[in-house]
Amino acid sequence: MANETLTTGLAGLIDEINAEALVILQDLAGVLDVVRWIDTEGEQGKTLDFPIYGTVASSDVAQVAEGTDHTTNKAISNADTAATVEEHVIKSTISDLSDMSVRSLAAFKQDIAMLFGSAMKAKLEDDVVGLFGSFTQTVAGAATTMTLAHWYDAIRMVKAANGNLMEIAAMISPKQYWGAKGLRSLLVDNSGEAKLSEEFLNKGFVTNPFGMDVLISNEIDEDVAAGGDAAGGIFTKGAIGLHTKGIISIEAERDASLRGYELVGVGRWKQIELVDLWGVYFLSDVA
């Protein structure tokens, strides 16, 4: 109906908005694929202990003669890392007059789901990339342009710490990816053949260099300490833990004196560094 308003249909749309916002957030949030993500929605308690086990090396395996009692005990310790979820909130008000201008509840549902889902995704990503600076291992540095050697050195560091290279990924800024001093330029300039350069550009090979996924995040600071440097990171999946208790939940409430509806979106999560040596802070010049 052309004159249908939200006041008659908003309550019934909330479940659909929630479902669509969750799909949008999970679609957009590639970060969920590269961290150790555990969701405990519906379970009691707001704190999750991520179990972290010490490394068992080849030297811990003994070659023992037949019939010999092996008495050396290898202690396997488990260091719990607690992540207590925190609330992240976004609010929007739909006034009755703006409500009257809405011609399609379906379009409104999709727009709100996209706006809330995208905003929550950005905050989630911002929290995760904010951990990169706590990695003790670093490559490149302030006023240093990235090179191939920096990428390979980061991979070497993760491997030396027994990180799983099958799950290694990078999160870098737009300038670290597309900029004149970024990854795209670096790989094309080092390809050696003009034809190969064109292949890289046309087929998007830059998205999976060195056998790792590369995610581009707008939440990465590209002017760290006002120095024109971007603060990316290279890490394997177990380096960062993400405990969620429902990534996004949207509800509506009528505010009579305001003459409208309040829409409130809540995301509950906590990001935490799990294994320091499985991550590398990648600060590089992008100015």
Distance CA 19, CA 208 (A): 31
**3-7, 61-65, 71-75, 227-231: range with lowest mean pLDDT:** 3-7
pLDDT computed for residue 7 by the predictor: 46
Residue 62 lies in a domain: no
Question: 29 lies in which domain range?
Answer: 6-53+74-128+243-270
The count of structural domains within the chain is 2
Beta bridge partners of 186: none
Q: Which DSSP letter does residue 232 get?
A: E
CATH number of residue 225's parent domain: 3.30.2320
Residue 67 CB partners (closer than 8 Å, separation 6+): none
Q: Which residue, chain included where needed, has tokens 């993500």?
A: 37
Residue 1 lies in a domain: no
Among 268, 186, 188, 182, smallest CA distance to 220 is for: 182
- 138-155 pLDDT, tens digit per residue, is 999 999 999 999 999 999
Angle, alpha carbons 241-266-23 (nearest 5°): 75
Which pTM value belongs to this model?
0.83
DSSP H/E element including 261: strand 260-273
pLDDT at 237 over 60: yes
Which position has the higher pLDDT, 239 or 73?
Answer: 239
Say if residue 198 is in the same domain as residue 87.
no
Residue 61 lies in a domain: no
- 27-49 pLDDT, tens digit per residue, is 666 889 999 999 999 999 999 99
Say if residue 26 is in the same domain as residue 165.
no
* Amino acid letter, 156: R
CATH number of residue 31's parent domain: 3.30.2400.10
Across the range 115-121, mean pLDDT stands at: 88
Say if residue 208 is in the same domain as residue 266.
no
Residue 97 lies in a domain: yes
Say if residue 145 is in the same domain as residue 176.
yes
Which position has the higher pLDDT, 39 or 101?
Answer: 39
Model confidence at 1, in pLDDT bands (50, 70, 90)?
very low
Residue 60 lies in a domain: no
**106-120, 231-245, 267-281: range with lowest mean pLDDT:** 106-120
Model confidence at 116, in pLDDT bands (50, 70, 90)?
confident
Among 202, 136, 210, smallest CA distance to 172 is for: 210
pLDDT computed for residue 8 by the predictor: 47
Phi and psi at 122, nearest 5°, equal -60, -40
Residue 64 lies in a domain: no
